[in-house]
Amino acid sequence: MPKVTYLTPEGYEKLKAELKELKTKGRANVAKAIAEAREKGDLSENAEYDAAKDAQGLLEMRISELERMLATARVLDPSQINTEEVRLLSKVTIKNLANGATMTYTLVSEEEADLKQKRISSSSPIGKGLLGKKKGEIAEIQTPRGVVKFEIVDISI
């Protein structure tokens, strides 16, 4: 059973654009690098050729991964998300009960996680600990520094 990838509409379009870029410009650039390295002579001792072939392998691996993700993607409609409990695409405001700090995160799939944009993966320890919680509940989350208790202050989209 292939792993389903849950994405926002923006995340789906971003992955589609990356795939198109890699299949066109990415492949063209790698082919050019291989051709240039091949022109330099003996392939058995040609580090540039080896590096270009390695780059080609990594590029094809990423293309394959993106194709798999897009083929199994389920695009989530934010307007259909229930805000009664924390779910994928929920924007959740939490309060650290130890120090009183308040933070707001959006729970997304691993593929869309970006801490700088306050988008955390639902499969991360914090994401897993928040899923299913309701406003006012306490989430006890195991972190490298021990268990941290967070109060669910608000859930929105």
pLDDT in tens, 40-93: 776 667 788 888 889 999 999 999 999 998 998 888 887 777 788 898 888 999
Stated as kind and residue range, the H or E segment containing 153 is strand 146-156
Residues 91 and 108 in one domain: yes
Host domain of residue 101: 81-156
Q: What is the pLDDT of residue 38?
A: 83
Residues 71 and 90 in one domain: no
Name every residue whose Cβ is closer than 8 Å to that of residue 137 and which is 6 or more positions away in sequence. Answer: 151, 152
User: Among residues 21, 48, 75, which one ends one of the domains?
Assistant: 75
Which CATH number do you get for residue 142? 3.10.50.30
Domain count for the chain, please give it. Answer: 2
Residues 51 and 92 in one domain: no
Residues 122 and 142 in one domain: yes
Q: What is the pLDDT of residue 54?
A: 92
Which CATH number do you get for residue 13? 1.10.287.180
User: Among residues 39, 58, 75, which one ends one of the domains?
Assistant: 75
CA gap 137, 95 in Å, rounded: 11
Residues 50 and 113 in one domain: no
- Contacts made by residues 44-49, CB under 8 angstroms, sequence distance 24+: none
Residues 67 and 98 in one domain: no
Q: What is the pLDDT of residue 78?
A: 75
Residues 71 and 85 in one domain: no
Residues 100 and 65 in one domain: no
Kindly report, residue by residue over 99-129, the tens digit of the pLDDT: 999 999 999 988 889 989 999 998 899 999 9
Residues 55 and 104 in one domain: no
String of DSSP letters for 79-147: GG--SSB--TT-EEEEEETTT--EEEEEEE-GGG-BGGGTEEETTSHHHHHHTT-BTT-EEEEEETTEE
Residues 65 and 86 in one domain: no
Q: Dihedral of the CA atoms 108, 112, 114, 115 (nearest 10)?
A: 20
User: Among residues 75, 105, 121, which one ends one of the domains?
Assistant: 75
Q: What is the pLDDT of residue 107?
A: 92
Residues 117 and 64 in one domain: no
Contact 2, 70 (CB under 8 A): no
Residues 86 and 136 in one domain: yes
